[in-house]
Amino acid sequence: MQTEVNKVIDAVSHKVIQNINNSGELSGKLVLSVILIFIWFLCERLLTKLWPRLIDNIKILNAVHGISTNLLRLIFSIALIWVWLNALDTFLIIAILIVVVLTISVKGLFSNLVGWFLIVYKHHFRLYDRIEMGGIKGEVIGIKPLYFTLMELSNWFEEDAPTGRTIKIPNRDILTKPIYNYANMTPFLWKELSYLVTFDSDWEQALTIIKELANENYQTFVKRFLADEKSKTRTLKQLALFDGQPNPETVVTVKEKGIVLKVRFIVHYKEGTKVITELNQKILMAFKNHQNIRMAGDVWYLTTFKPERSQNQE
């Protein structure tokens, strides 16, 4: 066994010395590699300047730029491997192996690459999906081998509004944190609005108003997203996975301060804030036109009574 090991070591050493002495072949491959890397860099710079002139939509621009960049890197990486693979020096093989081992040893790098593989090939999420992870919500605007980038939503806002900031999250986080994807199975979500009315309000009339306006909103939803029979069938199957129905549903509960009227309805995940605002405006305006419907808050109920006279006072 020891003799075989010594033979392998002697063979490797001999090959290293032979390739070092043959400097002409080595220098030729080095020059060709430098030329390829220069062309690679030049092509990336040219495409970076070309795409913004041809594409106005920023989302399409980011997607095209990312695809073209990754494609260029793949092509030139294969070209470089082919150059060195033709008569690859043992010395370079050893050097590359050492670099790879040292690189993988860097904390978190390997797990980031694993995370990137899962994102790209297992589709945990895609470009421009809206996700939430670790209390951070945003739309994916970039996916790279070490991290992905989100356009932040909400944070100091109550609704899903962009804050103007971007967040870079290490890919390894998808291995340890749950991911909430707004667009994976279906792009539709259920939202809920609630209204607290006083006990002496005509809550049945208020509930009727809520139902009518919610149904009007649902008809608009149907015209936009369920008009085509194939789209309707596909969407209903997707919603069935969540045991949900697209039709609005109302709920009535009683609290200490009044009667709570709730309505649940379906929206596209990118239009939640818009639909909620429109429904609130219509419902509150309708309540305002009915004197017998009053919103509850810190309401004090005062009861007055006239004391009876005692016989002694008479």
Stated pTM of the model? 0.62
Rounded to an integer, the average pLDDT of 22-38 is: 71
Most trustworthy range by pLDDT among 51-60, 288-297, 301-310: 288-297
Kindly indicate the confidence band of residue 20, based on its pLDDT and cuts at 50, 70 and 90: very low
Rounded to an integer, the average pLDDT of 210-218 is: 94
DSSP state of 171: G
Cβ 201 vs Cβ 292: under 8 Å: yes
Q: What is the pLDDT of residue 205?
A: 93
Q: What is the pLDDT of residue 180?
A: 92
Q: What is the pLDDT of residue 124?
A: 87
> For 197, phi and psi rounded to 5 degrees?
-110, 160
Token pair listed for 231: 């789209």
End-to-end CA distance of the chain: 126
**For residues 164 and 141, what is the distance between their CA atoms, to the nearest angstrom?**
13
Q: What is the pLDDT of residues 196-211, one digit of tens each?
A: 999 989 999 999 999 9
Domain with CATH 2.30.30.60 in the chain: 119-181
CA-wise closest residue to 106 among 47, 146, 157: 146
Domain with CATH 3.30.70.100 in the chain: 188-288
Rounded to an integer, the average pLDDT of 173-202 is: 90
> For 83, phi and psi rounded to 5 degrees?
-60, -45
Four-way CATH pick for 188-288: 3.30.70.100, 3.40.50.150, 3.40.50.300, 1.10.10.60: 3.30.70.100
> For 133, phi and psi rounded to 5 degrees?
-155, 130
Cβ 125 vs Cβ 142: under 8 Å: no
Q: Who wins on pLDDT, 88 or 165?
A: 165
**Does the CA dihedral 170-173-178-183 come out positive or negative?**
positive
Strand, helix or coil for residue 104: helix
- Residue carrying the six token digits 């609130």: 280
Cβ 270 vs Cβ 215: under 8 Å: no
Show the beta-strand stretches assigned E in 6-144: 130-133, 136-143
Tell me what the pLDDT averaged over the chain comes to. 80
User: Is the pLDDT at 7 greater than 70, yes or no?
Assistant: no
Instruction: State how beta strands 162-170 and 147-153 pair.
Output: antiparallel
The region of weakest confidence among 107-116, 130-139, 301-310 is: 301-310
Token pair listed for 248: 């609005």
Q: What is the pLDDT of residue 23?
A: 47
119-181: CATH class: mainly beta
Most trustworthy range by pLDDT among 6-15, 81-90, 213-222: 213-222
Rounded to an integer, the average pLDDT of 167-173 is: 93
Map 245-297 to HEC letters.
CCCCEEEEEEECCEEEEEEEEEEECCCHHHHHHHHHHHHHHHHHCCCCCCECC
Q: What is the pLDDT of residues 61-104, one digit of tens each?
A: 777 888 888 888 888 888 777 776 655 555 566 566 666 666 66
